[in-house]
Amino acid sequence: MTQIEGKVVAITGASRGIGEATALLLAKHGAKVVLGARGSADLAALTDRIVGAGGNAVYTVTDVKRREDLSQLVTLARQRYDKLDVLINNAGVMPISPLDDLRVEDWDEMIDVNIKGVLYGIAAALPLFRSQGFGQFINIASTAGFKTVPNQSVYSGTKFAVRAISEGLRQEAGGRLRVTIISPGFVATNFAERITNQSVKAELEASRDEVAMPPSAVARAIAYAIGQPADVDVNEIVIRSTVQT
């Protein structure tokens, strides 16, 4: 954790779940966190919580479907703290359903947030990382990026894509930039709230309640990757509860 102190870390999807837990943990260990999410009230509350505990945090409302919002998040980090050490592309959605439901709008949403949102983050931060001569991308994928199951094919496809994009970026990055994929299993968050197929929603929530790990577990994995020496790149961490198959 000593490697985390003083680092500037921007986080998308920061107001809840994994993003919130990561912001709290990193700020506790001396990072300056730059928070982005769609909900201004939640962002303000989290920022106040961190600052009230003696940490350092700022925020800007960020919809990762808008490239300009990712640019603003990176610009805020640079303007406020003169650098950006880490961008955590965490924002994601999971409105899964059987393909027969033809919920094309949900397919579009997953592609726009889970894939294009990561690409927009890369586009915003990569030029700054190149000019600084250092930087780390941490892209949140999923165990669904290794295995496809019924009802999750589009979501799974987006996470396969995140892993492929991240690995390609790692190979292109050179010796000064780091790229880490974090692939969690079930996490105790509200990821099922936007699922409209009620039987699929109930099944997923039951699985979550049975095997999910807390968001703080994923936050610790992220902190581990950030906390390595500059010449060590943790390429991927797969993390799940011991009871998840």
Q: What is the pTM of this model?
A: 0.94
pLDDT of residue 190: 72
Query: Do residues 97 and 197 touch, judged by C-beta distance below 8 A?
Result: yes
Per-residue pLDDT in tens (0 to 9) along the chain, 245 residues: 679 999 999 999 999 999 999 999 999 999 999 999 999 999 999 999 999 999 999 999 999 999 999 999 999 999 999 999 999 999 999 998 999 999 999 999 999 999 999 999 999 999 999 999 999 999 999 999 999 999 999 999 999 999 999 999 999 999 999 999 999 999 988 766 777 777 877 887 787 778 899 999 999 999 999 999 999 999 999 999 999 88
**Dist. CA 17–CA 185, nearest whole Å:** 13
Cα–Cα distances in Å, from 36 out to 59, 87, 240? 6, 11, 25
Element (H, E) at 87: strand 86-89
Tokens 């892209």 appear where?
Answer: 139
Q: Half-sphere exposure (CA, 13 Å, Cβ side) for 65? A: 9
Q: Which domains does the chain have, with CATH numbers?
A: 8-239 (3.40.50.720)
The confidence score (pLDDT) of residue 191 equals: 66
155 is catalytic: yes
Catalytic residue, candidates 81, 120, 155, 224: 155
CB atoms within 10 A of CB 100: 6
